[in-house]
Amino acid sequence: MIGIDWGTSSLRAYLLDPDGRVLERRVSSEGILSAAGRFGAVLDGLISGWPAEPVLMSGMIGSRQGWAEAPYVACPAGAGALAAQLRRVTTAGPRGVHIVPGLAMLDGEGIPDVMRGEETQVLGALAALGRSSGRIVLPGTHSKWVSVADGCITGFSTYMTGEVFAALKGHTILGRTMDGEEIDEGGFARGVEQARGDCGPPGRLLHRIFSTRTLGLFERLAPREAAGYLSGLLVGAEIVAATPLPDEGGSSAGVGSGIVVVANSALAALYADAAGRLGLSAEVAPADCVTAGHGVIARAARLVA
């Protein structure tokens, strides 16, 4: 079979053997924004020469702005519920092409949250690690924190950490005194430690980020450390909010005090480092584990044996 992870700004295709091993991997920068209106042609071009079907696609390709909308499935949901709601699309070629739906849920206050693509990565990460339960974080522009019990995604929460960091760095006074493009390790560590001690309600974050400026003003934070510090403040605040820390009231039922991180190696290392400073063990999922998710869903849908 062929597994496709098609996001807003990138496209990854994997040729898989019957056991789900990756035989070949092809990457394109034609995310759904640039491929709009010619999805079939872009797909056929990328996977040309690959004889296999079915093709199972996950990610923003199933959004309103994608190839065809695959409506959100209500969470809790596992591979079976996702498989039951695949959206089939027709292409010029003879292949059977299907889109995995996203997940939606309401939090305790009736506010919706959504994911699209991460559900497949989460199921794949746990399958790759040989587990059926856990707490998984997919850090990034919009970090997702996902709880899974017995193969069923039971709840999740989105944190806009990456996008907020970029907006603060690029478009507020905090970025004006930053020097260098790298995330300084020492600055990052200081930010995470600061976030550990922070208390107060959510609005306190609007105050705490100002310390990036004031510490610099009193020469207690160097310009080359400032971006790392702000990143550490935000990532630390995210982790503290998303996990009951071991020293703050115990761990989630059945999940233990560990998390699984699904991200590229640099970002995964950053989150694993922050989690460790906050007393959580972090395991990094193997690269390309999304393919194991494609396999799990394809089997649940009986697209493959």
Q: Which residues bind a copy of itself (CB under 8 A)?
A: 104, 109, 111-114, 142, 157-161, 163-164, 166-168, 170-174, 194-195, 197-211, 214-215, 217-218, 220, 234, 236-242
- Least separation in angstroms between residue 144's CB and a copy of itself is 10
Could you give the 3-state DSSP secondary structure of residue 143?
strand
> Cβ 296 to a copy of itself, closest distance in Å?
26
Smaller CB separation from a copy of itself, 170 or 276: 170
Closest CB to a copy of itself among residues 24, 179: 179
Nearer to a copy of itself among residue 22 and residue 164 (C-beta): 164
Sheet of 103-106: strand order equals: 73-74, 103-106, 112-115
- Closer residue to a copy of itself in complex, CB, 95/190: 190
Is 99 exposed, middle or buried, given 0-12, 13-18 or 19+ CB atoms closer than 10 A? buried
Sign, CA dihedral 81-21-272-246, equals positive
Q: Which residue has the tokens 């292949």?
A: 95
Tell me if residue 122 falls in helix, strand or coil. helix
State the Cα–Cα distance between residues 7 and 38, nearest whole angstrom: 15
Of 54 and 236, which CB lies nearer to a copy of itself in the complex structure?
236
* Minimum distance from residue 117 beta carbon to a copy of itself (Å): 15
**What's the closest the beta carbon of residue 145 comes to a copy of itself, in angstroms?**
9
Sign of CA dihedral 123, 129, 133, 138: negative
CB of 254 to a copy of itself, least distance (A): 21
